[in-house]
Structure 1
Amino acid sequence: MMSEAIDFVIVENLGWTLFHSLWQFTLIGIAVWLFLTALQCRSSAIRYRVLSCGLLSMITVSCITFFTLANETARNIRSAELVSVSTDVGLPAPHPHEIDDNAVSTFQSPIVSEPFVARPDPRRSGYRISGEQRSVTGSGISHEPAALSWAHWRGVVLAVVEPWIPMIMFVWMAGVAVLSLRPLVGWRSAGRLRSVGLSEAPQRVVEIVGRLARQMRITKALTVVESALVEIPTVVGWLRPVILMPASAITGLPNEQLEAVIAHELAHIRRHDYLVNAVQVFLETVFFYHPALWWVSMSMRDEREKCCDAVVVGMTGDPAEYVKMLLRVEESRGMSAVPHPALSAGGGRLVDRIRLLTHPPVRRGSNGGFYSVLLLAVSV
């Protein structure tokens, strides 16, 4: 019985956490959007940090909400047990100062006549409603009309939502079960790419990878192979990354452009982007219902590519040649059976990357990015 009660409390607190994330994530998304709007002329690295800070804030507020609800539930249970024991043995109820503030508003004396009373199960932390709000002070108990108090309206809203918590949890678990297929399929595909259709990369490619890795101070053991299953250069894995090179990139690109392609993939490895993307996929699965999280996560992927482009251009010093390489790689992928819309006239991520490379932003200060991220964290 005790374990069932604990499981019920955990599930209910999780349901309330999901409910509160609706408005919490919305506020964080608005804050991130405002900062990105103000940082239009800043570098992609700064914008990526702001987006990462927003995603981290979403995780943080969800954890804080869950553990706050858990602590509140534990206090309510202890207060309920204390009141129950006092009643059973015929002792006077504990002085109000001996019960925490939440218990005062939750457990009212049965002889008090009130126009509207909702008495929750002590295991639940969902709502606190009473006809009057009582606050214990040094001079006694003050009475304030509940209709004028924030606590009253908060209690009304939570009381309306509370019956829907089981349905919210059911829909959430069903959504997580369906969305979990996405990372599972992705991991299976990644495993297949690491073992099927591989051949040894030419020696000149291996030498380029080794030289660029030393130049970028990458200490991980790297493996570069030629793959028949990929159309564009791809990195698979985090602890033991494998660089998959399509035959078209190896044979169809001059050495300068080939080095730029490899440098771009090495930039992903140095930034641990494979691990960050795995975390993003996990969060997209857990919080699949919130568009703000999806927007932040997709924006991070866009800025991530731009960050790696900036690394390559900083190494080669020739953005025009790098743009030519991007176009050639994209055209080789476009000749596949399934056309890719990245080069469509209406825009696309590749168009944004090329526009940024050909028209870099004007920097207005060196410390703006740090203070922007700091201010975002404080505001959230």
Structure 2
Amino acid sequence: MWHLPDLTLVLDSLGWAVLHSTWQGVLAAIFIWAIRVATKDSAADIRYIAGMVTMVGLLAAFIGTFLYYFGLGTSAAETTLSLFGLAEPVGITTATPGTLSPLALLLNSTNFIGATWAVCFAVLGARYLAAFRLTHKLRKTGLSDLPSAWQHRFATLARKCNVSNRTTAFISEHVSSPITFGFFKPIVLFPSWFFTGMDAEQCEAVILHELAHIRRHDY
């Protein structure tokens, strides 16, 4: 019969994963810094790919750390504390909190750290879902085609900027200024006044600005 995992063990494993993510994050930051320095005169695609690989690596490291400690079970604290040279596992120590070293106090708080991380993850996840619903609404409702002349000009500018031909552009009744979003299929939305409130050179400059964001993958 299938049983729910021990919540204490789950939170403890999350806490260890969060603690280890600090040094993992430092290594990732050093790697990204080195890549940016080495490729500052190269195409932005190199830095983008390096950033994506690093983020995937950090996620894999976090999940791997969690699974490692979850697999250790109740021996997780003893195994890790032995690496730090502590005499006994903090999880079963008889010392009072006032007599524990700062390191021992930290390592004895993995349940609290894991619970705090889980709450923050839930809150940020809810915000992400709300943002996803908003972008879905922007992509699907209140859209109209660009003026025919600007459809051709937008496609021409996109080719000149080496932007994917999957990039689309529309006039949206929901936006008050140009915005760009979409990972696999970028979309640029312009407010209804855009092509009538500015001259052609100004419109083209703004379009090039949005296309540059797509080319650099920094939108």
* Match in the other structure for 1:127: 78
Structure whose CA Rg is larger: 1
Q: Deviations over 1:108-152 (max 9, x none)?
A: xxxxxxxxxxxxxx634222389xxxxxxxxxxxxxxxxxxx735
**Aligned equivalents of 1:157, 1:25: Cα separation in 2:** 26
Q: Deviations over 1:19-76 (max 9, x none)?
A: 211232134324544654x4595357255455445434422322332343345x2xxx
Q: Which of these residues, 237, 262, 271, is aligned with residue 207 of structure 2?
A: 262
* Match in the other structure for 1:25: 25
TM-superposed deviation, 1:245: 1.2
Q: 1:41 to 1:13 in 2, by over 3 A?
A: closer
* Match in the other structure for 1:62: 62
Query: Is the 1:16–1:126 contact (alpha carbons within 8 Å) kept by the matching residues of 2?
Result: no
Query: Is the 2:90–2:108 contact (alpha carbons within 8 Å) kept by the matching residues of 1?
Result: no
Q: CA RMSD in A?
A: 3.9
Q: Which of these residues, 173, 176, 180, is aligned with residue 118 of structure 2?
A: 173
**Aligned equivalents of 1:41, 1:51: Cα separation in 2:** 14
**Aligned equivalents of 1:35, 1:194: Cα separation in 2:** 34
Q: 1:155 to 1:22 in 2, by over 3 A?
A: farther
Q: Which of these residues, 68, 73, 85, is aligned with residue 153 of structure 1?
A: 85
Unaligned runs of 5+ in 2: 92-103
TM-score scaled to structure 2, two decimals?
0.67
* Match in the other structure for 2:127: 182
**Aligned equivalents of 1:48, 1:240: Cα separation in 2:** 17
**Aligned equivalents of 1:129, 1:12: Cα separation in 2:** 12
* Match in the other structure for 1:15: 15
Q: Which of these residues, 139, 162, 168, is aligned with residue 194 of structure 1?
A: 139
Unaligned runs of 5+ in 1: 74-121, 131-149, 274-303, 306-380
Query: Is the 1:235–1:243 contact (alpha carbons within 8 Å) kept by the matching residues of 2?
Result: yes
TM-score scaled to structure 1, two decimals?
0.43
Q: 1:191 to 1:35 in 2, by over 3 A?
A: closer
Q: Which of these residues, 196, 211, 224, is aligned with residue 156 of structure 2?
A: 211
TM-superposed deviation, 1:17: 0.9
Query: Sequence identity, in percent?
Result: 29
Q: 1:129 to 1:31 in 2, by over 3 A?
A: closer
